[in-house]
Amino acid sequence: MKRFSAIAALTLLWATGDPAQAMAFQPSPRTSDQSANVVGVAEKVAVDHILDEKLDGLEALYRDLHQHPELGFQEHRTAMLLARRMRTLGFEVTENVGKTGVVAIYRNGPGPVTLVRTEMDALPMEEKTSLSFASRAHALLDGKRTFVAHSCGHDVHMAWWVGAAEALVALKQQWRGTLLFIAQPAEESLGGARAMLNDGLLTRFPKPDFALAAHVGGGMPLGSVVMKEGVILSASDALEIIFNGRGAHGSAPSSAIDPIVMGAHFVSDVQTVISRQKDAATFGVITVGAFQAGSVANIIPDTATLRLSLRSFTPEVRSLLLNGVEKTAYGVSMMAGAPAPTITRLNGSAATQNDSELMARIAPALKSAFGKGVISIPASVPGFSGSEDFSEFAAKGIPSAYLMIGSDQPEALAAYKAKGIAPPTNHSPLYAPAARPAIRNGAAALVWSVLSLNGASPR
């Protein structure tokens, strides 16, 4: 039987630009037992009024951040701007947590501690949109100059993070407890969350009872909010493998142990870990994204460097992929009569999982606020293949919820469909979300989630 997951179907609907079908697509027949806990008209009007009032300033912040992107652990200007905004709102702010991270605390009496996270880092790539405020920024990465762009949408996230904070402060009579708003560095390299945790996030500051985050989704229509139970994003592991050979003249390959040949064998052989060792019904990806060796045609180099990205949903498959990659690299080197390869695990993060009980608590308010835009997907459906280090908080025992927020105008999606091409999505140099409405929707989703957890009774 052909396996066609609900997420794959939903993604196809977004990509083909049929927002009406995508918004109506509900893979889970289950309805919430808390359906009576809905957003009242007066409460919705109050939240909408606050966000509408703040939206011009949030869009201006977004454009500023978009024009001045910074790479992971280099987010000095970004962190300064966010810290300043939070201090103005009355938050207690600590900077330089986990190198460049920001922790902002707002205490509003006894009650739960709710963490709300945004990411700050941009990508080492050139933006190719036609936006009037497109980034032309540069930075140094590994000693090399590179373009920098917010092509993943973290600038949108930071704006709705500030917007949610502004609204919650204005609504402080409607909730109780402590807000722990964190601006995290280096999400793209999967190191920022761990850096903040290692710098005492859970010991120096109030320990969270809940953790919330949201991500803008390219190719998803505005107004859509994906609530995926269980695994929503895959585990990710990055490795570097150096094959150590013996250099020689290009005319005398028998005098060499050619690391390029070893690397070429590895690229092919390692895929048998997927096709012959992994259960065909489980998700797993091994990608060799970089292969660097040699300088000119007539010199056989003495090393070849490969960099890999591994993705999986379960700890068992994650372990299988890591062990399979390492065994294959050692086997290739042994067959070539070469020294053992040098294998470095650069970074990694477990799969991002949504806590079912937490999702059930925030679902009624979100469904009431966004209507048919909320797309509920059960845990039995596989997650997305992208990855996040938000999983680090769940790994510390904090119930977590990670939402996905639509970012494209339905008309734009329809236009792409008419042309027969897929719309630009996150990490594309052409990705240009409809930022203003996406910021408003993301802020609203976070506000209603916090109100659901911190004592509001929307009815």
Per-residue confidence (pLDDT) for residue 459, from 0 to 100: 37
DSSP states of 112-181: -EEEEEEE---BSS------TT----EEEETTEEEE-B-TTSHHHHHHHHHHHHHHHHHTGGG--EEEEE
Q: How far apart are CA 307 and CA 287, in angstroms?
A: 9
Per-residue confidence (pLDDT) for residue 41, from 0 to 100: 82
DSSP symbol at 455:
T
Per the structure block, which two tokens stand in for 100? 């460049």
Alpha-carbon distances, residue 122 vs 74, 239, 246 (angstroms): 10, 21, 39
Per-residue confidence (pLDDT) for residue 37, from 0 to 100: 53
Per-residue confidence (pLDDT) for residue 64, from 0 to 100: 98
Question: Which phi and psi (to 5°) does residue 278 adopt?
Answer: -80, 140
Q: How far apart are CA 373 and CA 134, in angstroms?
A: 30
Per-residue confidence (pLDDT) for residue 7, from 0 to 100: 44
Span between the terminal Cα atoms of the chain, in Å: 45
Helices (H), 289-355: 315-335
Per-residue confidence (pLDDT) for residue 317, from 0 to 100: 97
Q: Which residue reads 């070469």 in tokens?
A: 338
CA-based nearest residue to 94, from 178, 177, 181, 158:
181
CA-based nearest residue to 50, from 169, 167, 161:
167
CA-based nearest residue to 361, from 33, 15, 17:
33
Q: What angle do CA 201, 206, 208 make, to 5 degrees?
A: 80
Residues of the chain with pLDDT under 70: 1-37, 456-459
- In terms of C-beta density within 10 A (0-12 exposed, 13-18 middle, 19 or more buried), how is residue 366 classed? buried
Specify whether the CB–CB gap between 350 and 235 falls below 8 A.
Answer: yes
The one-letter code for the residue type at 371 is G
Per-residue confidence (pLDDT) for residue 366, from 0 to 100: 97
CA-based nearest residue to 184, from 138, 226, 139, 215:
215
Per the structure block, which two tokens stand in for 116? 């709300």
CA-based nearest residue to 406, from 156, 215, 220:
220
Specify whether the CB–CB gap between 135 and 148 falls below 8 A.
Answer: yes
The one-letter code for the residue type at 161 is W
Specify whether the CB–CB gap between 97 and 199 falls below 8 A.
Answer: yes
